[in-house]
Amino acid sequence: MAETWANVQVSGADGVEPGQLSGSDLYLDLSGEGSLRSRLMGALREAIRSGRLAPGTRLPPHRGLAHDLGIARNTVANAYAELVAEGWLQARQGSGTRVARRAVPLRVDRARPSRHPRHRRVPHSLMPSSPDAAAFPRSAWLTSTRRAVAAAPNDAFGVGDPRGRVELREALSEYLARARGVRTEPDRIVICSGFAHGLELLGGVLRGPVAVESYGLDFHRGLLEAAGLRTVPLTVDSHGARIDELPRTGAKAVLLTPAHQFPTGGPLHPERRAAVVDWARSHGGLLVEDDYDGEFRYDRQPVGAVQGLDPDRVVYVGSASKSLSPALRLGWMVLPPWLVDEIVTAKGPREIWSSAVDQLTLADFIACGAYDRHLRRMRQHYRRRRDQLVSTLAERAPHIRVSGIAAGLHAVLELPADTEEAAVRAAGRQGLALDGLRPYRHPDSAMPRREGLVIGYGTPPDHAFASALAALCLALPDPPDDSRRPPPPPPAGRRRTGEGD
């Protein structure tokens, strides 16, 4: 059925005579799957839960609502009756059907799945998109906000400079040099609303095709393509992107994740780091370095940014999304001098993207050492998570290999051919959201297809991590020869869900 939006008039709650129309409109969206009755029930529950239908409000009579929605009267009568039984509505002889006066029950509406599968509520998530949101350093951040707002000059609360607050650019310039080996001054830094915004700005000033890694975020490729730039895939192997393929692409720019390839998980080999800089110098090219999780390395000191090799040929883009929170929407671009004006012009005449208060807070947070302390703590936290993932797999699924370096907030589990899709589906049945490698593959890539699961081990809160791992183990394919498998210790009440269950 096509989307059905109905505009129905409902009568008022307390204080309004029964039968008197309040004149307020109620929009009911009956689109989606399932029977008309269940969709109507879902739409009414949603209207009650969101407060659009207040307790005590009288609903239209069956016939009137059926007429407005173009559906059978019985469908409305049955939906009302079920919602009365569930406690959402109350029916009284002579006064029609009303929204129940007692507290509205809060429960998941299973009749209306989200239209965006990635936003569906599931008990567990190992999606690689988020840090551990429960670990956000609330009180240290508040301390910095208080201090930053108290110390800020009046102009901080006026219209902002599109380059971003100077306090933050100064703090970043010192921090990036010290921690990431970036060569810059504050004047070459432009604050943006996360990496995605930085890429969007670059999309507006780059020319020609842009080379990208065969595996990467489709969302980022989409931003470049939306700017009219074709993206050309480079093979990704165990040494990172194949830089030797760059000349044949005709690209003048390349987007890479050198510290920790996303999502396959390897670093760019030192020879290839040098090679990409050589290519940029000899072809008038530009490297866009996405340093989204460069601070998180567990087996050694983090490798410095490629930008340090040639600040005139590399745009370094960093973000607070993994280190602090994607909700801050704060990122930073370190630009070659010849690109600064163009990017500032692309950003617009005034700051309309990033809050000055958040910028000042981050500046204070870095300057007072809280950012370093937070990163140290989170490094230990994510390292423990990764160790737990590796040891759980070693115990329960020793045939599954964890690939990539000990870094970042995600790992890839290598899977045998033709098992990825089934594993993602089996995870769904365990109430576990995760991604396979398939959605990250560039559609034009000619490299051999890899199968695997991208496990965001940073995502769950501590209390849910072990059960997320247990659900993961239940979703993994069996070893090729079942007899070699050690006896699995499934959690109580759960059994392994194989394909075809």
- 331 is a site residue for ligand PLP (CB under 6 A): yes
- 456 is a site residue for ligand PLP (CB under 6 A): no
Sole window of 141-149, 189-197, 278-286, 296-304 interacting with ligand PLP (rule: CB under 6 A) = 189-197
What is the x/- site pattern for ligand PLP, positions 273-302, by CB under 6 A?
-----------------x-x----------
For ligand PLP, the closer CB: 21 or 352: 352
Q: Which two tokens stand for residue 243?
A: 């830089």
Least CB distance to ligand PLP at residue 263 (A): 8
DSSP for residue 58: B
Q: Judged by CB under 6 A, which of 38, 249, 257, 354 binds ligand PLP?
A: 257
Q: Judged by CB under 6 A, which of 48, 69, 212, 217 binds ligand PLP?
A: 217
Sole window of 36-44, 188-196, 242-250, 434-442 interacting with ligand PLP (rule: CB under 6 A) = 188-196
Least CB distance to ligand PLP at residue 359 (A): 15
For ligand PLP, the closer CB: 321 or 419: 321
Q: How many residues bind ligand PLP (CB under 6 A)?
A: 13
Least CB distance to ligand PLP at residue 14 (A): 46
- Token look-up 């500032």 returns 344
Least CB distance to ligand PLP at residue 56 (A): 43
Query: Per DSSP, what are the bridge partners of residue 413?
Result: 402, 453
Sole window of 191-199, 345-353, 412-420, 470-478 interacting with ligand PLP (rule: CB under 6 A) = 191-199
Least CB distance to ligand PLP at residue 292 (A): 3
Q: Judged by CB under 6 A, which of 88, 141, 195, 382 binds ligand PLP?
A: 195
- 39 is a site residue for ligand PLP (CB under 6 A): no
Least CB distance to ligand PLP at residue 404 (A): 13
For ligand PLP, the closer CB: 52 or 438: 438
DSSP for 403-461, written as a single string: ES-SBTTEEEEE--TT-HHHHHHHHHHTTEE-EESGGGB-TT--SPP--EEEEETTSS-
CB 497 within 8 A of CB 475: yes
Least CB distance to ligand PLP at residue 173 (A): 19
Cα 433 off chain centre by = 12
- 261 is a site residue for ligand PLP (CB under 6 A): no
Rounded CA separation 84/37 (Å): 14
Least CB distance to ligand PLP at residue 261 (A): 9
Least CB distance to ligand PLP at residue 356 (A): 19
The number of C-alpha atoms within 13 Å of 350 and in the hemisphere containing its C-beta is 8
Least CB distance to ligand PLP at residue 335 (A): 17
| Burial class of 193 by CB neighbour count within 10 A (0 to 12, 13 to 18, 19+) | buried
Q: Judged by CB under 6 A, which of 196, 306, 334, 413 binds ligand PLP?
A: 196
- 262 is a site residue for ligand PLP (CB under 6 A): yes
Q: How many Cβ atoms sit within 10 Å of the Cβ of residue 44?
A: 24
Rounded CA separation 155/142 (Å): 21
What is the x/- site pattern for ligand PLP, positions 4-23, by CB under 6 A?
--------------------
What is the x/- site pattern for ligand PLP, positions 309-328, by CB under 6 A?
----------x-xx---x--
Cβ-based neighbours of 337, under 8 Å, separated by 6 or more:
188, 312
Least CB distance to ligand PLP at residue 234 (A): 15
Rounded CA separation 184/332 (Å): 12
One-letter amino acid of 252: K
Cα 472 off chain centre by = 20
Query: Per DSSP, what are the bridge partners of residue 256?
Result: 289
Least CB distance to ligand PLP at residue 465 (A): 19
For ligand PLP, the closer CB: 148 or 324: 324
For ligand PLP, the closer CB: 28 or 256: 256
Phi, psi of 305 (to 5 degrees): -70, 150
CB 172 within 8 A of CB 332: yes
420-457 CB burial, b ≥16 within 10 A, e <16? bebbbebbbebebbbbbbeebbbeebebeebbbbbbbb
Q: Which two tokens stand for residue 442?
A: 């560039």
Rounded CA separation 261/490 (Å): 33
Query: Could you tell me the CA-to-CA distances from 489 to 233, 333, 450, 493 in Å, in that order?
Result: 42, 48, 29, 11
For ligand PLP, the closer CB: 193 or 430: 193
**Residues at the contact surface with ligand PLP, assessed by CB under 6 A:** 194-196, 217, 257, 262, 290, 292, 319, 321-322, 326, 331
